[in-house]
Amino acid sequence: MALAKLVAWREKDRDWLQSGLKAGLFSLTEMQSRLDRMPKSAPDGGELLRRLSVLAATCRLEFDRGHACSPASRSMTHHDTETRN
């Protein structure tokens, strides 16, 4: 749901995303790790990363844009991410 809101990027979607991030319902890192699963009809990865950065700044959260962009981390599965934590 959060990634769909990220793609839509309307004001009400940004508000929803900000509320969820502030409440700890989802994380920027987890969203970023799933960007490679987005359909081709979604904005390109650079634009989605920019939107995540905007959310991070607005919510005053730390966000490492480069982390999930590397080939190794983009190929990690959700299970791999959970295992590392």
Tell me the average pLDDT across 47-57. 97
75: left (phi over 0), alpha (psi -120 to 50) or beta: alpha
Q: Which long-range contacts (CB under 8 A, 24 or more apart) does 75-83 make?
A: 75/36, 76/33, 78/33, 78/34, 81/30, 81/33
Give me the chain's average pLDDT, please: 83
Beta strand segments in 7-83, E: none
pLDDT exceeds 50 at position 53: yes
Confidence of residue 1 (pLDDT cuts 50, 70, 90): very high
For residue 42, what are its two tokens? 């979604």
Q: What pLDDT was estimated at residue 5?
A: 98
The pTM is what? 0.75
